[in-house]
Amino acid sequence: MKPLLAIALVFSCVAPARSQAPTFSTRIEAVRVDALVTDHGKPVLGLTAADFEVVDNGVPQTVDLVSYDQIPLNVVLALDMSESVAGDRLDHLRTGGAALLAALKKEDQAALITFSHIVTLAARLSTDVAGVKRALDAAVGIGSTALTDGAYAGLVVGESDVGRALLIVFSDGLDTVSWLTPEMVFETAKRSDVVVYGVSVGKGKPDFLRELTSLTGGRLFEVDKTANLSAIFLEALQEFRQRYLLSYTPRGVAKDGWHRLEVRVKRRGTVKARPGYLAGS
């Protein structure tokens, strides 16, 4: 099966399950920004809308709403299942995925995408965490690596229902067979609310995952071995839960094009958030 056809199958599987169509918002009516606030490496808790400053294309905005650990999560695992993922590496991946799924709350949703030369929606986005785990246990490593296509499918699934979307992309190799280009995925990421955390194993340069995580305000873990995947996945989930969800209605800025964002806190602290968003068609 060619990657293009495989991606189309993922889309067809997503459609019946979602409660609203996946749209990459133009951010005209409202902009949502996930922001992590830390002070000396520790999360800063208890902030309100009045504590934040948001500047959109140089124009200060009024933050309308700040939510913290209140909105259910959509956690999507997009996992490399190429032939290099076998033996201990596959065992570690299954264990890490199981640990993350076990840490979800009952109202959270999860989904599993596997990619090799084929992109497969192994488990649809739902609260059936046990079903996602069964799909993970059944996954096997075979074929080449369509990392770019797999990440794109993860963005689509993450946006396929209401909630805050976390996409965790794991890969132990470079992309060799994707149909989509990295630029296509980056364009989608700029319009999406999904926050991407990447886990790259090996000595290769994970340029694609580094750019994707940066554009979405996420984080890239670069590791030599997979033995600690459980700790990494749980750290990604915990950090995501500690982020604030900011919402504002853009004023005084253009409706289309790239919008550069600056998010600051009035108290002491460092903010990590996406650098901007793409509005319009």
Average pLDDT estimate for 15-40: 65
148, with CB counted inside 10 A (0-12, 13-18, 19+), is buried
Q: What is the pLDDT of residue 29?
A: 75
Average pLDDT estimate for 4-29: 45
* pLDDT confidence bin for 7, thresholds 50/70/90: low
Instruction: Dump pLDDT digits (tens) for 149-191.
Output: 999 999 999 999 988 999 999 998 889 999 999 999 999 999 9
Instruction: Dump pLDDT digits (tens) for 85-132.
Output: 989 999 999 999 999 999 999 999 999 999 999 999 999 999 999 999
Give backbone dihedrals phi and psi of 218, rounded to 5 degrees, phi first.
-90, -145
Pairwise CA distance, residues 120 & 231, whole Å? 26
Question: Does the CA dihedral 104-239-181-277 come out positive or negative?
Answer: positive
Q: Identify the residue with better confidence: 70 or 22.
A: 70
* pLDDT confidence bin for 10, thresholds 50/70/90: low
Per DSSP, what are the bridge partners of residue 110?
A: 75, 126
Q: What is the mean pLDDT of the chain?
A: 90
Q: How many CA atoms lie within 13 A of 103 on its CB side?
A: 19
Give backbone dihedrals phi and psi of 276, rounded to 5 degrees, phi first.
170, -175
Pairwise CA distance, residues 228 & 245, whole Å? 29
Residue showing tokens 């609203």: 20
* pLDDT confidence bin for 1, thresholds 50/70/90: very low
pLDDT at 17 over 50: no
Q: How is residue 252 written in tokens? A: 């005084």
* pLDDT confidence bin for 54, thresholds 50/70/90: very high
Question: Does the CA dihedral 89-8-101-197 come out positive or negative?
Answer: positive
- 257-265 and 276-279 beta bridge pairing: antiparallel
